[in-house]
Structure 1
Amino acid sequence: MRAIWKGAVSFGLVSVPVKLYSATESHDVSFRQVHQADGGRIRYQRICSVDGEEVPYSEIAKGYETEDGEMVVLTDDDFANLPTTSSREIAVEKFVPSDQIDPMLFEKSYYLEPENTGVKPYALLRQALLEADRVALVTVALRQRTTVAALRVRPTDNGDVIVLQTMMWPDEIRVPDFNVEAGEIKDSEIKMANMLVETLAGDFHPEEFSDDYADAIEEMVKAKIEGGEVERTPTSTKTSGEVVDLLAALQRSVAAAKKSRGEEVPEESSDKDEDKGEEKGEEKASEAS
C-alpha cells in the first residue's frame, strides 16, 4: 500500500506521527460506452449551452446554481479566499462511546501506521482505546478541508490497527418522508418472529458472501474472449406476492431454517399448516359461491 497522507495524532501532550492508507477499495464492475458496430470508445465534447461552441478546458470554471436557476461563476481568486487548512494534525477532541455514533455517519476508512518514532505512543493510544471501549472523535484536514472523523481499533491478520473513519456532517443524513403503520401485531406473530430470529442467529463471517454479479460478468467476458458460449445463470424463483397469513409464513420459515440445519421438524405441524391453508381456501371458495 502507498501512504496518501502524513501527519500526527495529538491527544493531550502526546503526539503520534503517522501515515495514512486507504483501507478499502471498490471492486465494482465498470463499463465503457462504445460504438456497438466497431467497439470504438464514445468521446464527449464540452459544448457551451449558450453559444453552442466547444469550450477548451482552460476556459472552464466552476459554477454554483442557485435555487431560482441563476448561475454564479466562481474564479480561482474566490476559492483562494475560502477557509482552507493544510494542517497535518489529527486532533483528538474527545473520547466517546462507540454506540453514540450512528453508523450512517461513517464515510471512508483509512489505516493509520506509526512512523518509527511514534510506535510506542501509537501502541499507548491503541491500548487506551481498547481498555476504555471508546472511540476518539477527531478533526483532521484532508484535501484542504477540515472534517470530523473517528479513531477506533480494528483487529487484522497483522495485529490490532488504529482506523480513521471520516464522517459525514449531520445535515447530510436525509430524513425519511414516510411512516410505516403496521397496525396491530399479534403476540403469537411476535413470538414466532423471535423464534425465526433465534433459529437463524449466527456470527458474521464476511467470506461467506460473494459478489455473484461481478463473478458472472467476469465469467461472461472470459467466455467471450475465449470464443465460447456464455453460460446463463438460472433466474430467481422468489416471488413478490403478498403474504396473507403472517404467522403461518413465520412458522414455515422457522421449520425451513431448522430443516436446513439438519434439525428434525415434526411432519404433523407442517401437514397441519397445509391443511389449514387448504381449509381456508375451501372456506373462501364456499363463501364466494
Structure 2
Amino acid sequence: MLRPIWNGAITFGLVNVPIKLYSTVRKRNVRFNQLRKSDGCRIQQKKVCATDGAEVANQEIVKGYEVSPDRYVVVTDEELSALSPRASRNIDIQDFVNLEQIDPIYYVQSYYLVPDKGAGKAYSLLLAAMKKSKKVAIARFVLRNKEYLSAIRPAENMLSLSTMYFADEIVSQSELEGLPEPEAEPGDRELTVALQLVESLSNNFEPEKYKDEYRAKVLELIEDKAEGQTVVVEKAPENPKGKVIDLMAALEASLSAIKKDNHNKKSNERKRKAHA
C-alpha cells in the first residue's frame, strides 16, 4: 500500500480541504555502482580540497557562492534557514485559469491528491466545481523546505497536482540560434503530403504500448551475465552526418511505406480471422 509523502490542506477563500499527497510514478531506472575493474571492490567518493588535495570532513565544509573567478561569498545554514519559506501545511490556491493557457513546458513533476479523513464532501465539491468550470487551479505550497508553484487539475475521479517551473526559469526562444527563417516555409505540395503522413500515423494515445526498450535490454544483459552467459556486443551503426535529403521524396516514401504496412496488417488480420 502506498504511503502519502505529505499531508496538508487545499485552501481557497475560506474553504479548507484536508488532503494527502502521493507520488504518481515509480521510477524504473537501472542503477549501477562504481567498482574497481581489477577486483570489483566498491568505489567511495571523497571530498578533497582542490588546492592541496587533502580530504575535508563534513563539519569543515561551508556553502560559498562564486561572485567572480575564485571569489566566494560564504553563506551559513542558519542564514539560509531564516530565508526559507515558512513551513506550512496549506496548498494555497491563488488563481483559476484555463488549462490550454498553460504550456506543458512549465510542468515538472506530478502527484495525486487524495482526501484525508472527513474531507470527502469538500474534496468532491472542489473536484465537481473544477470539472464543471473546466478550470485549473494555480497554487503555492511548501514541500521539504522548498516553495513550489503548482497546477491542480481534475484527473478522472480525483485531483492531481503538478509542480511547475517559475517563468524566469524557462529559456526564452529568443535565446536560441538556428530557428527556421521565413523563407523556410513549406510549399503547398509538401504541406499536403506532410499532412497525409501525419494523418496516416494518427492514433489514440495508449501509454501502455510505449515501452522503455533500452531498460529492458539492459536488464536482459544483466540477467544473462549473472547466469554466466557470454554476451557478444554488436557495434552500433553510425548515424549518417551531413546527408542532404530530398524532402518531398522522403515524405512520399514515408507515406508509401506506411500505406504498405497498413495493407499488410489488414491482410494478415483477414487471414487470421479466416483460419479462426
Task: Please report the TM-score for the alignment, with normalisation by the length of structure 2.
Answer: 0.87
Structure 1 residues 242 and 66, CA, compared in 2 at 3 Å: closer, same or farther? same
1:175 equivalent in structure 2: 172
Aligned equivalents of 2:47, 2:77: Cα separation in 1: 20
Of the three residues 153, 162, 165, the one matched with 1:165 is: 162
Q: CA deviation at 1:221?
A: 0.7
Q: Secondary structure of 1:193's partner?
A: helix
C-alpha contact 1:220 1:231 (8 A) present in aligned 2: no
How far does residue 143 in structure 1 lie from its aligned partner after superposition? 1.9
Equivalent AA in structure 1 for residue 159 of structure 2: I
Q: Sequence identity, in percent? A: 38
Shift of 1:117: 1.1
The alpha carbon displacement at 1:50 in A equals 3.4
Q: Which amino acid aligns with 2:29?
A: D
Gaps of 5+ in 1: 265-289
SS of the aligned residue for 1:262 comes to helix
Q: Aligned pair in 2 of structure 1 residues 12, 233: CA closer, same or farther (>3 Å)? A: farther
Unaligned 5+ residue runs, structure 2?
A: 266-276
* Partner in structure 2 of residue 227 of structure 1: 228
User: 1:71-99: CA deviations, max 9, x gaps?
Assistant: 12211231232142111111111110011
Cα displacement (A) at 1:183: 2.5
State the alpha-carbon separation in 1 of the partners of residues 170 and 122 from structure 2.
35
- Secondary structure at the residue paired with 2:248? helix
Q: Secondary structure of 1:217's match?
A: helix
Residues 243, 132 of structure 1: alpha-carbon distance in 2 compared, 3 angstrom cutoff: farther
Q: State the partner residue of 1:284.
A: none
**CA apart distance, 1:230:** 2.4
- Listed one character per residue, the Cα deviations across residues 22-60 of structure 1 (whole Å, up to 9, x for unaligned) are 112321222211101111111122112234322111222
RMSD (CA atoms): 2.2
Amino acid of the structure 1 residue aligned with 2:76? T
Alpha-carbon distance, 1:144 to partner: 2.2
The structure with more radius of gyration:
1
8 Å CA contact 1:85–1:145 kept in 2: the answer is: no
The separation in 2 between residues aligned to 1:67 and 1:208, in whole angstroms, is 51
AA paired with 1:174?
A: V
